[in-house]
Structure 1
Amino acid sequence: MKVGIADTTFSRIDMGKIAIDELRKISSLKYERYTVPGIKDLPIAAKKLLENGCDIVITLGWVGKTQKDLVSYLAMSVGLITVQILTGKHVIDVTVHEDEAENERDLLAIAENRVREHVRNAVDLLMNPKRLQKLAGTGQRQGYPDVGPILR
């Protein structure tokens, strides 16, 4: 099995490097990395990775603070959903928005945590889907502390 990792040069940290580091820590799965300029390029990157034999793709996007950036994110999201429908394979969207944190240190922590947790999710989707079933309804968050279920 092979994991596709698509990242961008627009990101303010090397999200692809973090994803590869986490993937190597938790599995022996092969991977292929594809780097593109920005988030609107991620849908075609995901499609190409799937066509190259990847069983799942993790897209790593970074969204700026402007309204234009949010519109680009929406376009990218629709594109990734389309790729999933057309290929019948998962594309895990890992996106960090610059307005998620008050300072760069917190933004870095959110980004790194989100990437690492979604790599684990992707590996579980491929290798251990029962683990995700056990976590259903538990308020898991990527990038932030888990919130837990509403009712216990």
Structure 2
Amino acid sequence: MKVGICDTTFARVDMGAHAIDEIKQHVGNITFIRRTVPGIKDLPVASKKLIEEENCEIVMALGMPGPQEKDKVCAHEASTGLIQAQLMTNTHILEVFVHEDEGENPKDLRQLAENRAREHAQNLVKMMFKPDAMRKEAGMGMREGRPDVGPV
């Protein structure tokens, strides 16, 4: 199985490395194809290329938009592009974004980014290898990177 990992140089944490490490802890015999691009708006085409040119069966797109309004707009545009790429390829691209203003301080931001990357990597494993485990979590208020909020 080939898994695509696409991340950015703009991010302040190497989330791709954390995602790969987490997947390796749960599944063997995975080939990772990793591409790093400059910024978040470059993720959609890089992810699409991983699917179409590298034959990845699923992709994680990891990025860290800045705190400014223009960064939030760029993140929205990237998210829209990732959705389009999924629809065009009929392949899941797990969007893993951590906005810089989500962290209370640099240490918290780093921990959030690592946790979110790892928890989304666990989601990838469940989606591809343990769909019943993912189904059991439906409606449970799961959150990636922060504590779960639980069902209502």
> If the TM-score is normalised by the length of the shorter chain, which range does it land in?
over 0.9
Figure out how many residues of one structure are paired with residues of the other and give that number: 150
Give the equivalent residue in structure 1 for 2:13. 13
Ranges in structure 2 where 5+ consecutive residues have no aligned partner: none
Give the equivalent residue in structure 1 for 2:82. 80
Give the equivalent residue in structure 2 for 1:107. 109
- Deviation of 1:36 after TM superposition, in Å, equals 0.3
Give the equivalent residue in structure 2 for 1:124. 126
* AA of the residue aligned to 1:27: V
Give the equivalent residue in structure 1 for 2:36. 35
SS at match of 1:63: coil
Give the equivalent residue in structure 2 for 1:64. 66
1:94 aligned residue (84, 93, 96) = 96
Provide, for residues 15-45 of structure 1, a one-character-per-residue CA deviation record: whole Å limited to 9, x for no partner.
Answer: 1111111111111122110100000000011
Normalised by the size of structure 2, how large is the TM-score?
A: 0.96
* AA of the residue aligned to 2:12: R
Ranges in structure 1 where 5+ consecutive residues have no aligned partner: none
* AA of the residue aligned to 1:35: T
Normalised by the size of structure 1, how large is the TM-score?
A: 0.96
* Identical counterparts, % of pairs: 53
- Measure the CA separation in 2 of the matches of 1:102 and 1:20: 26
- Measure the CA separation in 1 of the matches of 2:98 and 2:48: 21
Provide, for residues 81-104 of structure 1, a one-character-per-residue CA deviation record: whole Å limited to 9, x for no partner.
Answer: 000101111000000001112111
